[in-house]
Amino acid sequence: MRSAILEVLKHNSGQYVSGEDISHTLKVSRTAVWKHIRGLKEDGYDIEAHPRLGYALRHNTDRLLPAEIKAQLTSRILGREIHYFSETDSTNNEAKKLAADGCPEGTVVVAEAQVSGRGRLARGWFSPYGKGIWLSVVLRPPFSPMEAAKCTLMAAVAVNRAINAVTGAGCGIKWPNDILCNGRKVVGILTEMSAEMDAINHIIIGMGINVNIEPFDFPAELAATATSLAIASGHQVSRLKLLTTILAELENVYIPVKTSGFGSVLEDWKSQSITLGQLVDVRGFDRSFTGVAINIDVDGALLIETAQGLERVLAGDVSI
Residues that bind ligand BTN (CB under 6 A): 90-92, 114, 117-120, 123, 125, 127, 134-136, 178, 188-190, 206-208
Compute the least distance from the CB of residue 5 to ligand BTN, in Å: 32
Compute the least distance from the CB of residue 129 to ligand BTN, in Å: 13
Measured CA to CA, the distance from residue 136 to residue 189 in angstroms comes to 9
Q: Which is nearer to ligand BTN, 207 or 302 (CB)?
A: 207
Q: Which is nearer to ligand BTN, 55 or 134 (CB)?
A: 134
What is the H or E stretch that residue 138 is in?
A: strand 132-139
Compute the least distance from the CB of residue 177 to ligand BTN, in Å: 7
Closest CA to 162 of 82, 92, 244: 244
Q: Which is nearer to ligand BTN, 5 or 135 (CB)?
A: 135
Q: Which is nearer to ligand BTN, 121 or 199 (CB)?
A: 121
SS3 of 52-76: the string is: CCEEEEEECCCCCCHHHHHHHCCCC
Q: Are 125 and 117 in contact (CB under 8 A)?
A: yes
Compute the least distance from the CB of residue 94 to ligand BTN, in Å: 9
Residues 6+ apart with CB under 8 A from 114: 87, 88, 89, 90, 91, 125, 127, 134
Phi, psi of 112 (to 5 degrees): -75, -35
Pairing between strand 288-296 and 172-174? unpaired
State the DSSP string of 206-226.
EEEEE-S--GGGS-GGGTTTB
- 104 cis-preceded (ω within 30 degrees of 0): no
- Helices (H) then strands (E): counts for the chain: 9, 14
Q: Which is nearer to ligand BTN, 118 or 184 (CB)?
A: 118
Residue 76 bridge partners (DSSP): none
Q: Are 86 and 111 in contact (CB under 8 A)?
A: yes
Measured CA to CA, the distance from residue 181 to residue 202 in angstroms comes to 31
Could you give the angle at which helices 2-11 and 30-42 cross, rounded to 10 degrees?
A: 80
Q: Which is nearer to ligand BTN, 40 or 103 (CB)?
A: 103
Q: Which is nearer to ligand BTN, 159 or 266 (CB)?
A: 159
Compute the least distance from the CB of residue 65 to ligand BTN, in Å: 18
Q: Which is nearer to ligand BTN, 36 or 150 (CB)?
A: 150
Q: Which residue is nearest to ligand BTN (CB)?
A: 188
Q: Which is nearer to ligand BTN, 55 or 269 (CB)?
A: 269
Compute the least distance from the CB of residue 133 to ligand BTN, in Å: 8
Compute the least distance from the CB of residue 97 to ligand BTN, in Å: 13
Compute the least distance from the CB of residue 92 to ligand BTN, in Å: 4
Q: Which residues of 140-168 are buried (b: 16+ CB within 10 A; e: fewer)?
A: ebebebebbbbbbbbbbbbbbbbbbebbe
Compute the least distance from the CB of residue 213 to ligand BTN, in Å: 13
